A = this chain, B = another copy of it.
């Protein structure tokens, strides 16, 4: 049986290495006052249920557990000599600027670091041939950036030479590098950390995981996700309005989610007007007794309107046999299920002699480009603070994680191991089935 959060079996979990690397022994006294310092041996249990741990111990095994994130009493890097760099990679996500701002402020105000560089356009900015210059970042410069979406640093996709990046870090005397990006980015960050170590450089490479799809492993929650769900809501409302406004109206909304349906499922739960939610984890057929199209037709016949939410990576099994493409970051480019469904719905209903009117919505970029808000912005702040604490203590090759409501340190290799997916038997998907009531009309064959 796999773990509901990570999708791993007990044996797989037991084989994982939760230990964190350091660039050197911390010997400097932290200047923080009145703070609860984290001890190096504090842990957050992988399993929430104490019986499992007891059982493992009974079998002579060590219960798996994450190193707790937070401020350390002993630091490795000397603030006065520290030169930190921040890079943002991949697609936009609400909260990037909040993270950048909080990194700068925590470095500056909490630790007294005042050499902070913003790397332009992702890893490109660390490759000299692009001719891009780092920005010097100060608290004044970042004071209002959280009011805007996007990333003030810019981003890019695609791999760059680890060798060249490390050379640049060395030349610029960078001893802390914060990498804000998805699993591709963090994998590259892990290689940078290894290459720096091999070169004898004491560079702390600390990742802040970014995935608007909320599917990074060992992250119960990723920044920007809350804002994304909130921002998707009015789009789905409009789809509902357009669907209801005409006879047999259909509102079809394509949302993000390349390999997982977290956004589609949550957006469905937050908007109780959705009748069908299609996600990558639950394959479906178009026709046949449990097919989506006849179910949609039944819905139209009963209510004369329908709202469909589809994750961009859903239904890839329907494209079986077609060639596979990849983008600059090496992600598989999915066949466009949105346009595909739009066309197939129309042709199916036409064939059945059912009049219908389709309105198609693709709000992805509108969701990615908004600023983070409220508690999501606070989450960005906390992630950045933890990243700075980890960096100053001399940790490296880790990303800041969130597990059982605690911030933890996750070895980069672990975090980028595999993406998280929705368990169709778990509470999330069962709630979706309850809300949409699509259970009886269509179900996984898998």
Identical subunits present: 4
Enumerate A390-442 residues with CB–CB distance to B below 8 Å: 403-406, 423-427, 430-431, 434-435, 437, 439
Interface of chain A residues 113 through 155 with chain B (CB within 8 A): 121, 124, 143, 146-151, 154-155
With an 8 A cutoff between CB atoms, is A259 at the interface?
A: no
A230 neighbours in B (Cβ, 8 Å): 373-375
Q: A368 an interface residue at 8 Å Cβ cutoff?
A: yes
CA distance A54 to B369 in the complex (A): 47
Nearest CB on B from A3, distance (A): 12
Question: Which of chain B's residues have a CB closer than 8 A to the CB of A155?
Answer: 245-246
| B404 lies within 8 A of A437 (CB) | no
Contact B244 A406 (CB under 8 A): no
Docked Cα-Cα span, A130 to B140, in Å, equals: 27
Contact A149 B237 (CB under 8 A): yes
Q: Mark A100-119, 1 if CB is under 8 A from B, else 0.
A: 01000110011000000000
In the complex, A57→B50 CA distance in Å? 11
The CA of A244 and the CA of B242, in the complex, are separated in Å by 31
Q: Is the CB of A121 within 8 A of B238?
A: no
Residue of B nearest to A142 (CB): B272
Are the CB atoms of A375 and B226 closer together than 8 Å?
yes
Among B238, B245, B377, B431, contact of A366 (Cβ-Cβ < 8 Å): B238
State which of A40-48, A169-177, A178-186, A340-348 sits at the interface with chain B: A40-48
> Bound complex: CA of A149 vs CA of B4, how far in Å?
34
Name the distance in Å between A383's Cβ and chain B's nearest Cβ.
12
Q: List 5 A-B contacts (CB under 8 A).
A: A4-B36, A42-B49, A146-B272, A238-B370, A404-B405
Given contact pairs A150-B241, A270-B374, A270-B375, a sample of 8 additional A-B residue pairs in the complex whose CB atoms are under 8 Å apart: A43-B49, A45-B45, A45-B53, A149-B237, A150-B242, A234-B366, A363-B363, A385-B427
Q: Which 9 A-B pairs have the closest CB atoms?
A: A238-B369, A150-B241, A230-B374, A241-B369, A404-B404, A149-B241, A45-B50, A405-B405, A229-B374
